[in-house]
Amino acid sequence: MVQTDIGKDIAKARALLEHRLLVAIPTETVYGLAANALDEDAVLQIFEVKNRPRFDPLIVHGADRERLSEYVTSFPEWAQTLADRFWPGPLTLVLPKREIIPDIVTSGMDTVAVRVPLSPLTHELLTQLDFPLAAPSANPFGFVSPTTAQHVQDQLGGKIPYILDGGECEVGLESTIVAEENGKLHVLRLGGIAVEEIESIIGPVKIGGASEGHSPGSLLQHYATRTPLKLGPIDITQHDLSSTGILSYQTRYPGIPPEHQVVLSTSGDLRKASKYLFAAMRYLDSLNLKVILAEEFPETGLGRAINDRLRRAAA
């Protein structure tokens, strides 16, 4: 056990990372569990602390496109166009990697996923470091991602020395991942930037990888609450109301105790719903109910990414 401190001390975060230790960092998507991406031993600790399978590759975070360009062999036009529009922001690009990125980061693949996060503290940290940070979400593998420093403390406290506290994550969903496969652009993971936004810049994209199946991050069960979560139209007559939780978009359900219900946005704002989705799942899970009933969201914009997370949580 180590003592886990929470604070805003960039110099401390930097010193720990330079000593090959792990630090949880804020980003606009979710909190990340970061290590020097160029240091195989440091990155190995991420997999150990998270209990993450080695076949699931990590995203490499840099302060800007120029720095990330040092780790890829090419930065094709489609990627530059998207980077110009969405970086810093919740977009990850999969590009051909240079030798300097260790295999542990990419699960042995010849591509690397790169991103410039939008978070003042983390941006300053990345600017000061002379290496990029490999960082998956700062939670045990398979569980709900953290969107506050306290969420990280709850799950990884005692396992890492420091959590850099940047407050609540503004987007609250993981990044959208785009890759070129067999000459076509694919969205490998739905996330904080809507597919429609990406298509408005570079034209039609395919959803999902060309070689579905072993594609990492596409594991069906993920983001899981301990309480069983059921997704679909809510029929409260089928359940014992005192032990049922509700996660809804806009509607409050009479008959269910108000403290067992989270309405993500009464006004129907998908951005707001995304921001608080994971916190709501954690809260309802903490009530130790028999079941959490979740509504399906509109299958448009960020609603698609929300449904993706809920489907995996329900799987």
- Smallest gap from Cβ 94 to Mg ion, in A, equals 16
Which one of residues 46, 68, 112, 247 is an interface residue with ligand AMP (CB under 6 A)? 112
Helix runs in 110-173, H state only: 120-128, 149-156
Helix runs in 225-301, H state only: 270-286
- 258 SS3 class: helix
Establish if 92 lies at the interface with Mg ion (CB under 5 A). Answer: no
Establish if 94 lies at the interface with ligand AMP (CB under 6 A). Answer: yes
Token pair 């014992």 is found at 240
Stretch that binds ligand AMP, among 62-70, 82-90, 105-113, 285-293 (CB under 6 A): 105-113
Establish if 5 lies at the interface with ligand AMP (CB under 6 A). Answer: no
- Smallest gap from Cβ 45 to Mg ion, in A, equals 16
Question: 62: how many CB neighbours lie within 10 A of its CB?
Answer: 25
* Contact string 137-176 vs Mg ion (x = CB under 5 A): x---------------------------------------
DSSP 8-state secondary structure symbol assigned to residue 62: -
* Residue 189 contact among ligand AMP, Mg ion, none, beta carbon within 5 to 8 Å by kind: ligand AMP
Q: Given strand 244-248, what is the order of strands in its sheet? A: 229-231, 291-294, 244-248, 261-263
Establish if 27 lies at the interface with Mg ion (CB under 5 A). Answer: no
Per-residue tokens: 81? 């166009």
Element (H, E) at 133: strand 133-134
Using CB under 5 A, which residues numbered 101 to 140 contact Mg ion?
Answer: 137
Cβ atoms of 93 and 82 within 8 Å: the answer is yes
Instruction: Tell me whether residue 7 or residue 76 sits nearer to ligand AMP (CB atom).
Output: 76
Using CB under 6 A, which residues numbered 150 to 189 contact ligand AMP?
Answer: 174, 177, 179, 188-189
